[in-house]
Amino acid sequence: MEYLVREDLYILQGYEKTLADFASKMESDKISNTSQDFLYMRNELNALFIYYEQLANMAQTIEQVVIQSEDETAQTLLSLYIQRVNHLASITHAQKESLTQVLDMKQAKLSERQNDLVNLLTIVTSIFTPLTFITGWLGMNFINMHLLKQPWGYTACIVFCILLTFVQIIVIRKWRIFHK
């Protein structure tokens, strides 16, 4: 039975190192598309956790038989084995929790990027909406529109649009409307 878990601590340390690498890459924004890696690791950790639970249950069943035979050495060895398997199961569970935290960190980074993009699009929209309105209004063919008959009409409209854009930019910067 010892052979079944002999090298598992080293395997779990490898998973822990991989998780630490993922977390450090995530903090430095050097992580790429690792969804498959996360999914694979989660499946592996789930399988290991179930494996350790089954080993612990099997060892406890065997321990019940050994208790009836009153073999103290076998009872002690099985008790130590059960403790070791439970310890491996708790390490695996902790690593699953760490993986969940890294996934949450990744989701938070993606949400932050999306918020920044929406923020940028909001700024662009707030600047160009009044300009679009003015363009649409002046683009209509009205006979009695005052600016159409004046020689300075289009120039005034262009200057007004440029002035409006600068005022909007100044207001956005001064009031820090879209800053974090």
What is the rounded average pLDDT of the residues 17-40? Answer: 75
DSSP conformation letters of 38-81: HHHHHHHHHHHHHHHHHHHHHHHHHHHHHHHHT-HHHHHHHHHH
Going by C-alpha positions, the residue among 8, 7, 18 that lies closest to residue 98 is 18
CA gap 115, 75 in Å, rounded: 59
Per-residue confidence band for 40, with pLDDT thresholds at 50, 70 and 90: confident
pLDDT at residue number 32: 62
Q: How many H helices and E strands in the chain? A: 6, 0
**Residues whose CB is less than 8 angstroms from the CB of residue 165 and which lie 6 or more positions away in sequence, other chains included:** 127, 131
Q: What is the mean pLDDT of the chain?
A: 82
Cα-based torsion angle of the residue sequence 79, 84, 86, 92 in order, rounded to the nearest 10 degrees: -170
